[in-house]
Structure 1
Amino acid sequence: MSPLSALKSLVHASLVATALFAAHGASAQNTPGVLRVSAIPDEAPTELQRKFKPLGDYLAKATGLKVEFTPVTDYAASVEGLINHKLDLVWFGGFTFVQANVRSKGQVVPLVQRAEDEKFRSVFISAQPGIARLEDLKGKTLSFGSESSTSGHLMPRSFLLNAKVDPDTDLKRVAFSGAHDATVAAVAGGKVDAGALNISVWEKLVEAGKVDPKAVRVFYTTPGYYDYNWSVHASMAPALQKKIREAFLALDGSTAQGKEILELQRATKFVPTKAENYKTIEAAARNAGLLK
């Protein structure tokens, strides 16, 4: 089975699971006094927890609620968690937001995104000197991140197709690492010839000295596109939606608390967003046959 066929099967399985969940009336109720938060697992679980802790404390004070961060096993679980009311606030990538919004028939509300997410980018990396363009990937091995990742799969796939490179037929092998940092490790370790990932994670790993940019280099950076956001279900009380949105918008890098949170979130500031911003992501997913 090709990677694209496998991804279609994954999406179909998630749809079936969601339908069965709803049919049996198993939708969980909101927990009084608790804001249940999660995020797509695009980095190691320990890193996600570290990044969220100061933000969780801040949101608890802003909302008056106990904030609980619940890690999920995969991207599909973050989608199902929000639309089935098991989670209240989720950090989605553009594609996972689109999946959740389409499957819930427009019942997912994106509250805010980082200013950086208005023109987010992906990078293609390699340690092979003979790879300098997307076209050079023909006959090579490539690692994406998670199958449902916007910046680690969907958009890189879209830009490859625009360059007349079909990952399923023109590449020797396509792998899915599951996370952006794992993609870098696969390329650095020689397991694949190249990889595609989120530019923010790449820059963070370089700054932390966890990858040598002279050994593993960026050979292509994509044009910008809308990506990550913090989303809630439309059934959340409007007053609480407003509190959460305003808390994010009030984060100020000139304060010690704001600086810590924004740096961990790789953000200069948060800005309002709307579902219409993700129409390009939805179109790319439909063109790839990942949304019906």
Structure 2
Amino acid sequence: MIRLPRFRSLAVIGLALAATLCAGLAQAQQVLRVSAIPDEAPTELQRKFKPLGNYLEQKLGMKVEFMPVTDYAASVEGLINNKLDMVWFGGFTFVQAKARSGGKVLPLVQREEDEQFKSVFVTTDKAINKLTDLKGKTFSFGSESSTSGHLMPRYFLLNAGINPDTDMKRVAFSGAHDATVAAVSGGKVDAGAVNISVWEKLVTQNKVDPKTVRVFYTTPGYYDYNWSVRSDMNPALRQKLTEAFLSLNKNDPQGKEILDLQRATRFVPTRPENYDAIEKAARQAGLLK
């Protein structure tokens, strides 16, 4: 047996203790960087996330920081380039992230409502009552990368025999659902497509008059939003995150506040296969190569 000199043994022990201490401090200072597609105003996204961020900090034992992004593409690039750890994606942005990362992005959970999500088409024009009435009209989508504000509305328009790019007078992209409603309400466009959840929230908050701006078409249901992470996330952390979301309960005051802000009944597990139809729709519409 080889014995180290006493002073050398103490030095080795000291280095080991220092390494352990540093590792512990690194773990204590670890931050979960979270973001969301900017489908609403930045102030609204921050307001919705704050209670959820506090809850996740309690459940994970680590700092959780919300990092807003400028556009949908930035949320995708942020996650796959390791600048973000978890992102609230729409179905289409998840599909884009999965494709860009070579399948290395995983959806963890979705709201129960996202299993049958819908878009609504709204207008102030009394002559518009069905999709084919949009021929020759001006129209607004949300963001180009939005599932409920662009991809699926475009998909259902094409299925109805309406090509927005050739059959409409002008097509605009507002960048966000509430901005689309404002464009329709303000007369900037004849009609627009909006996330049904945002529409219902605006009506409930009296931010839009449904007698003036009315829904004239509601799409069939499709899978939409989810919370996604990279597949290389520590499995233990991934499991803790999943359990934290699944544990949210409306019978608990904290859970009710979070779920109400997220416009969710509850969160349920999800999987990549749920978004195959979104991917197919994106390819058919020429939005995913």
Q: Which amino acid aligns with 2:112?
A: A
Q: CA deviation at 1:243?
A: 0.2
Q: Which digits, 9 at most, give the CA deviation of each residue in 1:93-143, with x for residues without a partner?
A: 000000000111110010000000000000000000000000000000000
Alpha-carbon distance in 1 for matches of 2:194, 2:150: 8
Where 1:212 maps in the other structure, the secondary structure is coil
Alpha-carbon distance in 2 for matches of 1:89, 1:214: 39
Q: Which digits, 9 at most, give the CA deviation of each residue in 1:12-53, with x for residues without a partner?
A: xxxxxxxxxxxxxxxxxx995100000000000000000000
Question: Which residue of the partner structure matches residue 75 of structure 1?
Answer: 72
- Alignment of 1:217 onto 2:214: yes
- TM-score of the pair, normalised by structure 1: 0.89
**Contact 2:76 2:93 (8 Å CA) reproduced:** yes
Where 1:218 maps in the other structure, the secondary structure is strand
**Contact 2:248 2:267 (8 Å CA) reproduced:** yes
**Contact 2:29 2:63 (8 Å CA) reproduced:** no
Where 2:49 maps in the other structure, the secondary structure is helix
- Alignment of 1:232 onto 2:194: no
Question: Which residue of the partner structure matches residue 123 of structure 1?
Answer: 120
Q: Which amino acid aligns with 2:254?
A: Q
Question: Which residue of the partner structure matches residue 89 of structure 1?
Answer: 86
Higher-Rg structure is 2
Match of 1:58 among 55, 59, 62: 55
Unmatched tracts of structure 1, length 5 or more: 1-29
- Alignment of 1:197 onto 2:201: no
Match of 2:46 among 45, 49, 55: 49
Q: CA deviation at 1:288?
A: 1.2
Q: Which amino acid aligns with 1:48?
A: L
Match of 1:207 among 194, 204, 207: 204
Shift of the 31–92 alpha-carbon distance from structure 1 to 2, 3 Å rule, reads: farther
Where 1:123 maps in the other structure, the secondary structure is strand
- Alignment of 1:111 onto 2:108: yes
Where 1:56 maps in the other structure, the secondary structure is helix
Alpha-carbon distance in 2 for matches of 1:257, 1:210: 26
Q: Which amino acid aligns with 1:179?
A: A
RMSD: 1.1
Where 2:65 maps in the other structure, the secondary structure is strand
Question: Which residue of the partner structure matches residue 170 of structure 1?
Answer: 167
Question: Which residue of the partner structure matches residue 186 of structure 1?
Answer: 183
- Alignment of 1:250 onto 2:241: no
Shift of the 235–110 alpha-carbon distance from structure 1 to 2, 3 Å rule, reads: same
Alpha-carbon distance in 2 for matches of 1:288, 1:143: 17
Alpha-carbon distance in 2 for matches of 1:127, 1:111: 39
Alpha-carbon distance in 2 for matches of 1:174, 1:190: 14
Q: Which amino acid aligns with 1:78?
A: S
- Alignment of 1:135 onto 2:140: no
Q: Which amino acid aligns with 2:218?
A: T
Q: CA deviation at 1:291?
A: 1.5
Aligned runs of 1:14-53 on 2, under 5 Å? 33-53=30-50
Alpha-carbon distance in 2 for matches of 1:154, 1:109: 21
Alpha-carbon distance in 2 for matches of 1:221, 1:147: 20
Where 2:33 maps in the other structure, the secondary structure is strand
Q: CA deviation at 1:175?
A: 0.2
- Alignment of 1:152 onto 2:149: yes
**Contact 2:28 2:62 (8 Å CA) reproduced:** no
Q: CA deviation at 1:68?
A: 0.4
- TM-score of the pair, normalised by structure 2: 0.90
Q: Structure 1 segments of 4 or more deviating over 6 A? A: none
Q: Which amino acid aligns with 2:31?
A: V
Question: Which residue of the partner structure matches residue 280 of structure 2?
Answer: 283
Alpha-carbon distance in 1 for matches of 2:133, 2:176: 24
Q: Which amino acid aligns with 2:39?
A: D
Q: CA deviation at 1:164?
A: 0.1
Alpha-carbon distance in 1 for matches of 2:100, 2:175: 23
Alpha-carbon distance in 2 for matches of 1:145, 1:271: 26
Alpha-carbon distance in 1 for matches of 2:78, 2:121: 31
Question: Which residue of the partner structure matches residue 99 of structure 1?
Answer: 96
